[in-house]
Structure 1
């Protein structure tokens, strides 16, 4: 398995259409990065769920998923399931994030995600963050849109277990969903681990990257 590093990471940006998207798609990766790099700057933007229980959950969850990091989180109130019709507002929020940060790494939804909100946000990210490494995380769902990812972040058993525990602990509003359980999250991580010769892993799509192999 070929391993490429992202270099020295000081600041990352993470975006989600809904509260819990970032944690489901990249929670283990956030844990791994923040534990390895105390003081890492994390700028997070969530487009919907602001002003209520969902925002409270998200703030507590991302604080737990980013231990020791300098976390700045913005949660907006755009309507769930209607982001394409509010594209201008979503674009303004993404552009504002871009104006405030120049991250070494961006975590965002996949551009081919079957959910219209995820897909809308993903396409905005690649236009605003043109010169950045953007990793598109995956979210398991009824649509069955999981594909063949191009990049993997191996997770230790501890990181994988901690991710599942934190998802269950910090998002009680989602526990009623039939797919929101330990078997789903740990099962997908195990499959992605098999694909990259690790016990567990999170997987990402990469739309474009530039290699520097001269040295």
Structure 2
């Protein structure tokens, strides 16, 4: 497997999610890897729903754990779950406000092929504000069966993969009753993506546009 090493040039990250727990599920292992390797890295996170509820408390504690040593700046808004298309202006304004606050080297966000309307809507908004940025579109397994064929992989050490699952279980007690929210689901997908990139575990992402600078 041929790869490009770019982490040394990443000093700012933006992370966007429609719901509390989207980011850790989709990119938690990558955030752990990146933040552990680069103490002090700035992470600007925006979550569109869950503000003012127990979900926000869960998210703040979880992202602090998933971004160890980072300069984490998190905003959790109060848009209603499942209604992002009807609240397009508010979501658009939030993404543009985030853009005004940071110029990230890397962005984690949902991907445009996600079947959930909130995820998909946010994915479509991101490039309207971050037009010249590398966006890694993360995946979230769900009933809809919308997992695609990602093209970018972040291999995860076994310790990181296990830590991701442990942190998800620890920090989101409100989700434990869900049939899909378990160790087998999270670790199973990581194992499959690991097979695809010749690693034990991995997270996978979708990229619409990527510019190479091979001279650097």
- Matching of residue 121 in structure 1 with residue 122 in structure 2: yes
Residue pairs, 1:54-203, within 5 angstroms? 54-203=55-204
- The residue that corresponds to 1:3 in the other structure is 3
C-alpha deviation, 1:211, in angstroms: 1.1
- The residue that corresponds to 1:21 in the other structure is 22
- Return 5+ residue gaps in structure 1 as ranges: none
- Write the distance in 2 (CA, Å) between the matches of 1:183 and 1:189: 10
> What whole-Å deviation, never above 9, does each CA across 1:34-78 have from its counterpart, x for those lacking one?
000000100000000000100000000000000000100000000
SS in 2 for 1:140: coil
- Return 5+ residue gaps in structure 2 as ranges: none
SS in 2 for 1:114: coil
C-alpha deviation, 1:148, in angstroms: 0.5
- Write the distance in 1 (CA, Å) between the matches of 2:56 and 2:180: 21
TM-score (norm 1): 0.99
TM-score (norm 2): 0.98
C-alpha deviation, 1:214, in angstroms: 3.8
In the comparison of the two structures, how many residue pairs are matched?
215
The CA RMSD over aligned residues, in Å, is 0.7
C-alpha deviation, 1:213, in angstroms: 2.3
- Write the distance in 2 (CA, Å) between the matches of 1:174 and 1:202: 21
Return 125-134 or 71-80, whichever deviates more: 125-134
SS in 2 for 1:4: coil
- The residue that corresponds to 1:35 in the other structure is 36
SS in 1 for 2:112: coil
